[in-house]
Chains A and B, each alone.
Chain A
Amino acid sequence: MTDLWNKPEITRREFFDKCSEVGAQTFVFGGLFLTTAKLRLPQETALSASQEKKAEQAIYGFVVDTTKCIGCGSCVRACKAENNVPDGFNRTWVEQYTFFPNGEVIVNSPLGGENGFPDNLPERNMPKELEQLPVRGFFVPKLCNHCIDTPCIQVCPVGASFVTKEGVVLIDNEHCVGCGYCVQACPFGSRFLNPDTKCADKCTWCYHRITKGLMPACVQYCPAKARIFGNVSDPLSEISQILATNRVQVLKSYLGTRPRTRYIGLDSEVI
């Protein structure tokens, strides 16, 4: 390169040749760098080496049994208190489904279920023609599904959304720029922009608790045992037993995000 620049006359061809040579090298190495991004080493966990050996790579899973949920909202309150969730947003919430004789379905979730659910039909602000007795109803707790093929990690421009080796999807509050793309990309509405941290926020399956051998707050404080959390790669765990003996569904399976959170007792009206 140096002797080329010391030449008194450099022809146009030589100039462009050198430039394209450098450009081509940049392109090749840049391309190699980008493609090897996918082949990186598997992620590490927060468990210590001995714990990890014992766990033999735990993979976590979650089951929501909607047949058991009584809509008390304990999970929502526990989560809000445990994780400092700001007012107006929810890391987890409970939906109430009420079916009427004319086939109409009313869904609501006052404050996400934080104060439980009111009973009186007029209190629910329903249209007058529906003040007939409902025929059936149930509650559906929802939270981040910690998908296997997450759309949220896919779209994060800076690498602030990531997944751990145990399958827990987390957000790095030091790196997030608060663009909100992941919030738009989540099909389940699990994410929000936290007005206090100005970063994206969502359920973390209480990562700070499960890595200490505790249950997530919503699981521990559900009085109806509607939420189950555990290691799905251990066939003797409670969650594995449940998955082996129940018909389970996921939300929006047609989108192909492959959620790790399964549901028992979903109805076709639950989207």
Chain B
Amino acid sequence: MAALAQLTATGLVKDFGGLRAVDIDAFTLNTGEIRAVIGPNGAGKTTFVGLLCGRFPPTTGRIAFEGRDITTMPAHERVALGIAYTFQITSVFGNLSLYDNVALPAQRRVMLDGGGDLRARAMAALDRVGLADKAGEIASAQSYGHQRLLEVAMGLALGPKVLILDEPTQGLADSEIAEFVTLIRDVAREATILLIEHNMPVVMALAEQITVLDGGRVLAEGTPEAIRANAAVQAAYLGG
């Protein structure tokens, strides 16, 4: 099956003062794939993904989504186009109920579609991650694992085309991680997944393609098997 480029970045550079955090010549995310972005700490993964979803502007470079140049498009418009992002540090609204949390993005989708059943959409998102029965409970009272799931549900409620997950399994128990992998495989049937992860088993289980970042640059790209065998990647992770 021919790969269809969905989200591309060319000549993407981000400088913070004197530090070059990201320097990527070319990156292509294809429609429907599950792509993992891995790399040692400080490799620029979150910054890279932040550039893609518009949290901050690039120093130079072009970003395109489904053929459309979105380099200067503000973040909230990219979300409206279909790029959803879940935060590395859990950013749910603690004082609100689980339902109210997913109702916010669901409401946005309803507004963008010009109609739709808010309640149904919100409950469907909660149901997808297995939290539907807790809809009325307060978010801050939930376990950490459940809050991470709520983050994912909030992303799902937007009905995105691309779902970007930033270290989603961090802090989860093993059983929760296994459930998470199943969930993502399910979601991948309707959305492209871009996943930043440190947990190698999860990466190997889920990813169809892996991009390895180091020092803000692409070190290697390929299938899980190819990456596993790549000497340069091993060196970067283990300090050679």
Q: A and B bound?
A: no
Residues on B close to A: CB < 8 A?
A: none
Residues on A close to B: CB < 8 A?
A: none
